[in-house]
Structure 1
Amino acid sequence: MDLTAATWTDVRDLETDLAVVPVGSTEQHGPHAPLGTDVLTAEAVADAGIERTDREVVRAPAIPVGIAAEHRQFPGTMWVSEDTFRDYVGEAVESLAHHGFDRVVIVNGHGGNVDALRVVGGRLTRAGDAYVVPFTWFEAVSEHSADMGHGGPLETALLRHCEPELVREDRIEEARADAADGWGDWTSHVNLAYDSAEFSENGVVGDPADGDAQRGETLLELAADSLARLLETVAERDVSRPDHR
């Protein structure tokens, strides 16, 4: 059930404790892809994963602003501090748990959120407020994960499949021309760069031309199947904590 479209009485009558919260970012994705790429892809995977399970699942509204100061040189990018992000996501999940939806999978579309979401999940789970597991879609697409860049082949492919009208196809060559091959500027196993503008002229990492709509369909199937398996596991998992003191 999508909370955005539901009434409170609809929600009152549900018999499930399982919820999904999409989380993304509003940030540059090169000249060809929208600022909302990470939100759009997280929502697409969340919805497709829910469709692949027979369980009743509450789908919360997406959280659209994340930890993205590394893209601050590009207009339109928004971000919050790590502390604010962790608190906001945590309190949003706590509000779901208040109504009995205390098994929660956070579906994430932004790499900068990964570490913070793991902290949120651990904190809420250990406190006993809810059992919370973060899931990042581009880590769950088999061998394709190795091609994850930024505004590169994976994100462009998924957008071409799910939201083709938002991809500026006439700017793909521009995106390719000034893209970086990899994330960062490395010496002695150390990334010397903190911001994407230090190593990518237009914010793109990877070749968006390698991401066509057919690949996007494959990515969505892989990510959604993986999410569906996770939802089943979270729903069935014994989340009690033995005390050995």
Structure 2
Amino acid sequence: MDIQSATWTEVRDAETNLAMVPIGSTEQHGPHAALGTDTLNAETVAETAADRLDDPVAVSPAVSVGVAEEHRQFSGTLWTSESTFRSYVRDIVESLAFHGFDRVVLVNGHGGNVAALREVAGTITRHDDAYAVPFTWFEAVGEDAPPMGHGGALETSLLQHANPDAVREDRLDDAAAEGTRRWGNWKGKVNLAFDSAEFTENGVVGDPREASADLGEDLLDAASEALVDLLETVAEHDTERPPRK
């Protein structure tokens, strides 16, 4: 059930306590992919999983601005602080729980959100009237998938399959030529860079020329099946808090 397109009485009568919150970002993805790439991909995975799940699940509107200051030098990138982001996500989950959706999967499409989502999910579960877990779609596509990168083959492929208008196909060669192949500026195991502009000329990490709609279909299948499995587990998970020792 898409909460945004449902009526309040349909939400009231929904026979489920399970919900998803798609969470993305508005940030550069090279000259070839839309600023909303992470949000579009998170929505695609969440919607596909909802369609495949045997039982009903509520899907909230997406969070489309996340923790993305690392891309601030590229025009159009929007960001919020981690503390504001965590508070906003927590408020959304609190709203869902108030209406009976107290088991929530946070479906993430942006690497910069990962740490903050893990922390806020723990806070929600420990202190609020809800149980929340984060799920990042590109961590669930299998070892044979291309490296994550940024605006590379993995993200571009999912766009080409589900949102092809978000990809400027005529810019793929330039995107690859001016990009880089590794995230960061490393000294041993220490990343010396804080902003992506320190190591990539146009924001790309990876090779978007290796992307395809067929690969995107495979990635979506793997990610959505993993999400369905997680949703089924969350629906049955024992949420009783452990007693104090």
> Which letter does structure 1 place at the counterpart of 2:64?
P
Runs of 4+ aligned structure 1 residues displaced above 6 Å come to: none
- Matches for 1:16-55 after TM superposition, within 5 Å: 16-55=16-55
Q: Is the 8 A contact 1:139 1:145 kept in 2?
A: no
Q: Which residue in 2 is equivalent to 1:64?
A: 64
- Any idea what SS the aligned residue of 2:143 has? helix
TM-score, normalised to structure 2's length?
0.98
Aligned to 2:158: 158
SS at match of 1:135: strand
> How do 1:166-181 and structure 2 match up within 5 A?
166-181=166-181
CA distance in structure 1 between the partners assigned to 2:126 and 2:41 by the alignment: 29
C-alpha distance in 1 between matches for 2:145 and 2:93: 28
Name 1:116's counterpart in structure 2: 116
Q: Shift of the alpha carbon at 1:145? A: 5.1
Please name the residue that 1:87 is paired with. Answer: 87
Measure the CA separation in 1 of the matches of 2:199 and 2:242.
Answer: 48
Query: How far, CA to CA, are the matches of 1:128 and 1:37 in structure 2?
Result: 31
Matching residue of 1:14: 14
Kindly indicate whether the alpha-carbon contact (under 8 Å) linking 2:145 and 2:219 is maintained by their aligned counterparts in 1. Answer: no
| 1:146 positional shift | 5.6
Matched position secondary structure for 2:3: coil
The one-letter code of the counterpart of 1:64 is S
CA distance in 2, matches of 1:222, 1:181: 24
Equivalent residues of 1:180, 1:199 under 8 A apart: yes
- CA drift at 1:73: 0.2
- The Cα of 1:128 is off from its aligned counterpart by 3.9
Deviation track 1:4-33 (CA, whole Å, cap 9, x = no partner) reads 111111111112100000000000000000
Structure 1: tracts of 5 or more residues without a match: none
Q: Distance in 2 between matches of 1:92 and 1:143?
A: 33
The structural deviation recorded for 1:228 is 0.2
Q: Which amino acid aligns with 2:110?
A: H
SS in 2 for 1:4: helix
Q: How does 1:83-232 map to 2 (within 5 A)?
A: 83-144=83-144, 147-232=147-232
Once residues 77 and 144 of structure 2 are traced to their aligned partners in structure 1, the CA distance between those partners, rounded to angstroms, is 26
Cα pair 2:152 2:205 within 8 Å, conserved: yes
Task: Give the root-mean-square deviation of aligned CA atoms.
Answer: 0.9
3-state SS in 1 of match to 2:206: coil
Structure 1 residue 166, shift from structure 2 partner: 1.7
Deviation readout 1:82-128 (Å, 9 max, x if unpaired): 00000001111110001110000000000000000001100010114
Kept in 1: contact 2:94–2:128 (CA 8 A): no
> TM-score, structure 1 length as denominator?
0.98
Deviation at 1:244, TM superposition (A): 4.4
Q: Deviations over 1:142-170 (max 9, x none)?
A: 01456110000100000000011221011
3-state DSSP class of the match of 2:135?
Answer: strand
Aligned to 1:225, the other structure's residue is in SS state helix
Conservation of the 8 A alpha-carbon contact between 2:178 and 2:200: yes
Alpha-carbon separation, structure 1, partners of 2:107 and 2:130: 16
Q: 1:24 to 1:144 in 2, by over 3 A?
A: farther
Task: Tell me how far 1:242 sits from its aligned partner.
Answer: 2.7
Separation in 2 of the partners of 1:145 and 1:89? 29
Q: Distance in 1 between matches of 2:143 and 2:206?
A: 16
- Contact conserved, 2:152 with 2:206, CA < 8 A, in 1? yes
**What is the alpha-carbon distance in structure 1 between the residues aligned to residue 23 and residue 106 of structure 2?**
7
